[in-house]
């Protein structure tokens, strides 16, 4: 079998590290002039988070940042992916609103500290925490003309303030989630939906598609600005990161094979086809008709080619069957139960996640073949079932998470060395247990356990597994002996 691959290291400049997002870890919502974001208020509305908790404290990383950087350094990471809170930089958010020097100073110091420890900052500009005042003023992402200008100005302020040191930028995190979970299902801020039990206002049949359109344009304008005004001197990369899970046909019937492609069209193609190929997936137009906002020829020119790389967040694989009625999934029915009744993989704490590493490898291949750009894996992770109910000593022995990372890192190496996919980074989600959006603090994705009573951090076995900076290719048999080879992420 693939013995020839086992002595291969990861590519020389491969970035590996862990990922987080501002609202999920920082806390200190009123510190140093921060303005409110849409998640501040949303999380506090009754029933919006599972434990009724919000981002007031989170992992207290706004205060404990030195300790966090120490821990990151002890994990031996080469890079750290985090996001900037827009409303710390511009508390009211808008293009004519004042900049907050204290917010800039905080991130600036943080970036310096990372660099001084040899850790490359990988920065997301927008990880869902829209300034509340932009939502109030004009409906946030629903108002394309306003939001594009305000977002582009925010991006400009960040490029100016941090671009001398930050060379890896992500404009947006997971626009599918922004649009569908925020404006379709209504489970994420701002929580708009046609479901009147959930939200007093919103239209799930139109708003998500409008929001997606605005997000693409805001991204594209920020990239144009970076390329014209900053890239010539700062020489960094800028791109978007999309969520998307592998879609596997439930069986080999033609309709289920089509269903799997339809699922990919709605989850990934909605954003990736315009940005990398310059058109919408035909199937989306077929389903949505006039509800799919189109771009003008000038906008298409701006959008096409507006990402330097493919940013990939992925967690699982869905078995796809035709005949679903969930438009947000392309009218495809998802299941983890195979036709023979068995489960696809180990079940995570969240219903939407099972462990299936072959799907990770298939997705890498699909994306590389279709979009033909280097891939930066910017999120991948697992929440162990019931971890929050375990005593700490038990929770930190997170075998299911270790198995998950063993699978995905093996698949990653296979994709690189055997399939020839150009992968440049791997950022497990997440560095710390943290505020898991609508799940509150009940779902833990961290490789570090956070005791929310004391804010003490405890590395889990998964952190140590990746800390050894080894990726084991398990169970190779050479001359009758079963061996594991360490592969160094260096």
Where on the chain is the footprint of ligand PNW (CB under 6 A)?
A: 21, 24, 173-174, 177, 243, 313, 352, 379, 429, 436, 445
Q: How far apart are CA 103 and CA 91, in angstroms?
A: 9
Q: What's the alpha-carbon Rg for the chain, to the nearest Å?
A: 21
| Structure token pair of residue 11 | 């590519």
Q: How far apart are CA 205 and CA 188, in angstroms?
A: 17
Nearest residue to 176 via CA among 270, 262, 282, 245: 270
* Cα→Cα distances 177→112, 187, 201, Å: 31, 10, 19
* Cα→Cα distances 129→85, 88, 137, 379, Å: 7, 10, 16, 18
Alpha-helical runs (H) found in 163-269? 175-176, 182-183, 207-225, 231-234, 254-264
Is 379 part of the annotated catalytic residue set?
yes
In the complex with ligand PNW, which residue's Cβ is closer, 173 or 214? 173
Is residue 342 exposed (0-12), middle (13-18) or buried (19+ Cβ within 10 Å)?
A: exposed
* Distance from the first to the final alpha carbon of the chain: 25
Which of these is catalytic: 26, 327, 379, 387?
A: 379
In the complex with ligand PNW, which residue's Cβ is closer, 243 or 317? 243
Alpha-helical runs (H) found in 117-206? 132-138, 144-162, 175-176, 182-183
* Cα→Cα distances 439→51, 336, 384, Å: 7, 21, 14
Q: How far apart are CA 419 and CA 363, in angstroms?
A: 12
Secondary structure of 428-487 as H, E, C letters: CECCCCCCCHHHCCCCCCCCEEEECCCCEEEECHHHHHHHCCEEEEEEEEECCEEEEEEE
Q: How far apart are CA 417 and CA 139, in angstroms?
A: 47
Which sign does the torsion angle of CA 142, 144, 150, 152 carry? positive
In the complex with ligand PNW, which residue's Cβ is closer, 379 or 387? 379
Nearest residue to 40 via CA among 29, 48, 28: 29
In the complex with ligand PNW, which residue's Cβ is closer, 21 or 377? 21
Report whether the peptide linkage leading into residue 405 is cis, meaning its omega lies within 30 degrees of zero: no
Which amino acids are annotated catalytic? 379
């Amino acid at each position: 079998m693939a013995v020839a691959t086992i002595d291969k290291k990861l590519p020389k400049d491969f970035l590996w590290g862990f990922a987080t997002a501002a609202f999920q870890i920082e806390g200190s919502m009123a510190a140093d002039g921060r303005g409110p974001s849409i998640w501040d208020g949303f999380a506090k509305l009754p029933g919006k988070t599972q434990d009724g908790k919000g981002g007031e404290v989170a992992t207290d990383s706004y205060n404990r940042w030195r300790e966090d950087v120490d821990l990151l350094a002890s994990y031996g990471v080469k890079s750290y992916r985090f996001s900037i809170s827009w409303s710390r930089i511009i508390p009211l958010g808008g293009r004519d609103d004042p900049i907050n020097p204290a917010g800039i100073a905080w991130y600036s110091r943080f970036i310096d500290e990372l660099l001084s420890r040899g850790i490359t900052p990988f920065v997301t500009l927008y990880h869902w925490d829209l300034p509340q005042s932009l939502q109030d003023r004009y409906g946030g992402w629903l108002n394309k003309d306003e939001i594009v200008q305000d977002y582009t100005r925010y991006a400009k302020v960040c490029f100016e303030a941090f671009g001398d040191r930050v060379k890896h930028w992500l404009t947006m995190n997971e626009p599918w989630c922004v649009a569908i979970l925020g404006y379709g299902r209504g489970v994420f801020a701002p929580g708009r939906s046609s479901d009147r039990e959930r939200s007093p206002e919103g239209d799930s049949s139109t708003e998500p598609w409008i929001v997606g359109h605005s997000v693409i344009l805001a991204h594209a304008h920020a990239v144009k600005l970076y390329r014209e005004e900053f890239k010539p001197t700062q020489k960094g990369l800028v791109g978007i990161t999309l969520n998307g899970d592998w879609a596997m046909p439930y069986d080999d019937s033609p309709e289920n094979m089509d269903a799997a492609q339809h699922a990919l069209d709605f989850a990934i193609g909605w954003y990736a086809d315009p940005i990398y190929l310059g058109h919408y997936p035909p199937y989306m137009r077929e389903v949505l008709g006039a509800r799919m906002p189109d771009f003008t020829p000038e906008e298409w020119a701006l959008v096409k080619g507006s990402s330097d790389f493919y940013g990939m967040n992925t967690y699982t694989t869905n078995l796809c069957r035709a005949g679903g009625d969930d438009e947000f999934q392309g009218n495809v029915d998802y299941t983890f139960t195979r036709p023979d009744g068995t489960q696809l993989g180990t079940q995570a704490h969240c219903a939407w996640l099972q462990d299936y590493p072959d799907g990770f490898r298939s997705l890498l291949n699909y994306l590389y073949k279709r979009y033909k750009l280097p891939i930066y894996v910017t999120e991948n992770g697992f929440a162990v079932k019931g971890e929050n109910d375990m005593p700490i000593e038990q929770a930190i022995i997170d075998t299911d998470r270790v198995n998950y990372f063993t699978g995905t890192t093996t698949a990653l190496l296979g994709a690189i060395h055997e399939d020839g996919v150009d992968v440049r980074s791997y950022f497990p989600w997440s560095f710390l247990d943290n505020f898991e959006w609508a799940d509150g603090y009940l779902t833990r994705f961290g490789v570090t356990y956070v005791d929310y009573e004391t804010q003490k951090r405890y590395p889990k076995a998964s952190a140590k597994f990746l800390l050894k900076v080894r990726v084991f290719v398990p169970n190779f048999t050479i001359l009758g002996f079963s061996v594991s080879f360490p592969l160094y992420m260096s």
